[in-house]
Structure 1
Amino acid sequence: MGRCFLQVPRNMTTEHQTSVGLSFASSPAQTQGTPGFIQDVWDKIPLPPWLLITVLVGAALLLVSCPLCIVCCCCRCCRRRRKKGAKETVDLGRASNSTSTHLVQPDVDDVELGLQGPKRGRLQVSLEHNFRSQELRVGLKQAADLKAPQAAGVIDPYARIYLTSDPQKIHETKVHRQTLSPVFNESCVFQVSQAELPEAMLVIQVLDFHRFSPHASVGELLIPLGTSDLHHVLEQWYELGPPGRAQQEQMGELCLSLRYVPSTGRLTVVVLEARGLRQGLAGFYVKVQLLLNRKKWKRKTSVKGNTSSPYFNEAFTFPVPFSQIQKVDLLVSLWGRSSMSRGEPLGKLLLGCRATGHQLHHWSDMLAHARRPIAQWHRLQCSEEVGKALQLKKGLRLPLPGS
């Protein structure tokens, strides 16, 4: 290991040599004892060490949490944009006969809308069709759990049977006294050709017999023969439905699309098509009327003829402020032209807060999905039924978008 020699001038005295040596010996010690920059800053902060450490840890957590919050907000915005884009895509060709319950506002209950009525009883019916003689044999076996229209508890039931293809030929059973489960064991035969079979419908009406007053209707059963397997004897139990459905079946169905934009206050009604209409008429057209604050706006489609399933695809726009949407009554009527008359009403529909059933469901779907067209099939109703609904003073208060 090399040695370092310090050369001292010859003329320097011993005292000077000693002082120089001491100065060089003391300089390294002073350099090693000088505190660093971090230690100097730490000593100058007038805070306890534990408090200073807590502040530093909190600042580090804040720096880490800020980027995480920004990333979460961006993800939420992307999800909302994707959901909004998915809601705006609508296929009007997939319109169904009834709306799905998850699309309806939760405040609108099926019981309030009248979709879940009370049970009216059951019928045991047998069907047998002879394709050679083109005869349909209908056997009415028995009924069970019939509901009395009044509070008497028992009724005098009998049945009326006919086909929609030949409503003039009606078979009536015997009257059974004071019972809710009559045993009929009667049969009747109808002439039905193979061409009429797909569109024919069997109607069985159960009525309560009254000697000195009109007979009360207990229920009605509709059996479409086109969808029934008549190659062998068919016997099963059927649930009775509400009366008057056979008349509605003959009126036909109408497909409508509704769209409401709250920001601009525009209600758009699109009359798409109809089906199952009465044959023998020269043409069909649709009238759309909007009733609001004792005012009426009328629109009418063009006449479509030579078919029982006309296709219209015509749109009508009405100005409806957002504050008045709960007071709107939309009346849609289907008219038919014949060679003897310019036009006769075939059926009507009422949509709005005073409507019932599927019409009210359709209206609530439109309010729940603003700016989106909602299409649905509706079965036409008779004028008397729509008139009763219009006479009501108040309607349901449906939840509005953004409320």
Structure 2
Amino acid sequence: MKTANGPSCVLVQMSVSKAPPSHSHFPSGGGPSSHLTLPPPSSSSTSPSPSSASPPSAPPPPSPVKISMQEHFAINVCPGPILPIPNLSDFFPRYHAFPTTPPPPREKPVARPRETDRERDEDRQMDGEEREGMDSDDDDTYLGTLEFSLLFDQENNCLHCTIHKAKGLKAMDSNGLADPYVKLHLLPGASKANKLRTKTLKNTLNPVWNETLIYHGITAADMTTKTLRLCVCDMDRLGRNEFIGEVRVALKKLKEGESKRYNMGLERIAQRGRILVSLCYIMEKTCLVVGIIRCAHLAAMDSNGYSDPFVKIVLQPDMGKKSKYKTSVKKKTLNPEFNEEFIYEVPHDQLAKKTLEISVWDYDLGMSNDFIGGVELGINAKGERLKHWFECLKYKGKKVEYWHTLTQQGAPSSD
């Protein structure tokens, strides 16, 4: 095979060394030829047949037949009609012709103004709340339901609260049961007369009380501003009582003389507010410095819609008077600024075994103080509370600040 007249054509020559037999089907009048050439296409001219009388010593060379490269491959691969050779792109339909439509231009990010220190604190505070909510094992736990009825008697200035029953309470004791009771509290308000409670029922998760508690001296004006908090707790004689869950009802929705029945799901964490705490361990002085910076959005505990908050801190296990401190009282505010620091002399290796209890209270002159909320920091804490404690132990000499959401932790055992 030779290439002639460029790469698009080839010369094909075929020869037969042995003559065909005498009974060959060649046309009469012409003898067999010692050379055979490939029949040319119909459009090509045919080469003349050699004469039988020609000398056998030097047969003339056959005329070259020109065929295209496409015809050559078609003849050798599959006889039949010549089909176009497929393109590579036919086997990959996901590829498309170019150029394509250009993508839309990217929008330039809008430059954000620089944040102030307070804005950064607030952002960190909200992020901390979300992470704490995700880390908490109580948010997705079914705590049970509470069924009760309310009746406002305007003529006698009384609010009748009938506690019917609870169902499916969360088990709080080692036997898989609980010793539940219900505590009622009118908010805002700090008087002991605002706190009522039912009897305690032993070893049950489905208690039935059918007990009516009455608030006296409730006016129509009180009904427009008061909220009734119903808290379900577990009685524990060996330690302090445990919080199970609570519900709140705005009394302004209750019509005079109408007995309204409720069946509500218990919630674990109520809105109590937040506290900003700083921790710093100083190796040179072997002491822990606790900073109570400020609180935000505290629950109103007084009838004027405010509270008189102060903060207690206790390092457990109890080390006597040296383990208990409290801040000054801030009058008539739900967002107090304290900026006070307290020092605990404790070796660093013992700090990992300690728990710092922080609780926020409403001060009341001449009566018991109202618990607003608390938080515990230590090795047994979870989420942001554990992270705060861990960073204090790890980064010695560095002040670490965190926002924490106030919960029922730190509530007094006496009810």
- TM-score, normalised on structure 2? 0.42
Larger radius of gyration: 2
Larger RCO, structures 1/2 (Cα 8 Å, 6+ apart): 1
The structure where helix makes up a greater share of residues is 1
- TM-score, normalised on structure 1? 0.43
